[in-house]
A and B are shown apart, each in its own frame.
Chain A
């Protein structure tokens, strides 16, 4: 799958999840490197600690190539019904979910085997 398609699918699924909460504000930031990418999504809705914990767990779930290679095609594509963060979790390299003053911040890193999110070129303050 082309990188552009992967990004579009990620954006679509994440946006669907955030927009289902009908936020007043949603901000999406994308930074690309040759070996990977960083996607940051912020919204302005209240989220319970339980939801944040569940989301982080789902997004950092064990990689499932047998599911990602087949059902992963539905990511950001088939949006009738509840959002399915597990579809993302099988594909992203790492995810951080944290509460902000006004809502939630989701950081997703995606890349190949050589990609290390810790060494990513976005300054810490920008994350």
Chain B
């Protein structure tokens, strides 16, 4: 476990360093840093592609800083780097490309800290909630930079609302887990979406209207195209150097795990097996984007980073293919473009529902994928884009419905009296 911790720590610090270095080299230090500062001061509701707004360099640096913040907090509270924390750091970095900034995540993390203190829990017990709860970062940015408040009111209001958001998240997160019983990997997406409904309702009640379209970078760029494949290959090579062919054996074993929350592949099998799984998910995800002609931009790369992270915490190739197929079918049936923003992000993030296929089979996976696409095309508007994990929200609703039906069927398919039989 200690070896695993140091391997992951070094790997993550290396990725963060490479992001910062690349950012400076691509845009030059002055432009990259001033644009990074600019990104801290904008509203960041869905979908604001930081590459489109601040350039590649600034987006990479912001992503690295957000990931670094999460990693340092994990190390500070002496939490083991493993499947869930690895997934959390990569998710932070991913969403640091389209919505999270150091400024908008800190009040939420602090709010979760106070929540734990309030009921006598150590912060490390809530650290997963704190890190993934940063999906509501746009709530902070919205109050500070979009709602129309100025000066101390904007500052105090955004910090205060961020703290309150974080404070309430643990209670909501645990309740949401029970709704889908661990079959939606992005439970904080469902939790934040649920909270976002209330936040959006209060904002609309003040007479404010959510305005603005999406910022979506669509210029072809070789660096952005190769970023995830190269990162994925480095995961696989790291695993092979560390554990040789055994990492491939462990990777095969990981494919047999259903993936229901909380499935820490790094502990259940090995860190190296999980890194191979993660790397292959990144490569296949990138190939999918290439094949459908999608853009490699902030949201897409962010999505790929996220699913690579969850390649250590619930997502594997075997439990994912059917839910992705469901999204593709749904996209084609309802006449959307496979490479347009909603469907391409849905095809990546639908892996939040992979445990449904892992536990109940590929047919359930396809149905889940079909429903997910339809839902996710609507849910963003419900919370005004406040919840960055919109796919986690839609996935949570989808999983809840499917789990309810399966539970109802399993509970009632046999008459109670017939469930008893003679024992030998």
Q: Which residues of A contact B (CB under 8 A)?
A: 24, 61-62, 64-71, 73-74, 77-82, 84, 86-87
Contacts and interface: CB of A to CB of B under 8 A. Distances in A.
Q: How large is the interface on B (under 10, 10 to 19, 20 to 34, 35 or more residues)?
A: 35 or more
Interface stretch (B139-147, B174-182, B290-298, B339-347): B174-182
Contacts of A68: 125
Given A65-B125, A81-B260, A71 B177 contact: yes
Nearest to A68: B125
25 contacts: A24-B423, A62-B1, A62-B80, A66-B79, A66-B80, A66-B125, A66-B127, A66-B128, A67-B264, A69-B121, A69-B122, A70-B125, A70-B126, A70-B128, A70-B174, A71-B177, A74-B177, A74-B178, A74-B261, A80-B181, A80-B407, A81-B183, A82-B260, A82-B359, A84-B260
A78 B181 contact: yes
Given A24-B423, A80-B410, A81-B260, A69 B126 contact: yes
Contacts of B126: 69-70
A81 B183 CA distance: 10
Interface string B154-175: 0000000000000000100110
Contacts of B260: 81-82, 84
B369 interface: no
A65 B128 CA distance: 10
Contact of B181 (A62, A66, A74, A86): A74
A67 B84 contact: yes
B247 to A, nearest CB: 21
Contacts of A81: 181-183, 258, 260, 359-360
B125 A69 contact: yes
Interface in B268-306: 268
Name the prevailing secondary structure of the B interface residues. helix
A66 B85 contact: yes
Nearest to B406: A80
B403 interface: yes
A69 B177 CA distance: 13
A74 B128 contact: no
- Nearest 4 pairs between A and B by C-beta? A69-B125, A78-B181, A71-B262, A73-B174
B129 interface: yes
Which of A24, A71, A73 is the most central at the interface, judged by chain B CB atoms within 10 Å of its CB? A71
Contacts of A86: 262, 268
B241 interface: no
B243 interface: no
A87 B260 CA distance: 12
B181 A70 contact: no
A61 B111 CA distance: 31
Nearest to B360: A81
Given A78-B178, A80-B406, A81-B359, A66 B84 contact: yes
A71 B278 CA distance: 22
B124 interface: yes
Contacts of B267: 61-62
A67 B262 contact: yes
A55 to B, nearest CB: 14
A73 to B, nearest CB: 5
Which of A73, A79, A81 is the most central at the interface, judged by chain B CB atoms within 10 Å of its CB? A81
A120 B80 CA distance: 31
A80 B359 CA distance: 10
B249 to A, nearest CB: 17
Given A77-B178, A78-B178, A81-B258, A70 B173 contact: yes
A62 B267 CA distance: 10
Contacts of B79: 65-66
A71 B125 CA distance: 10
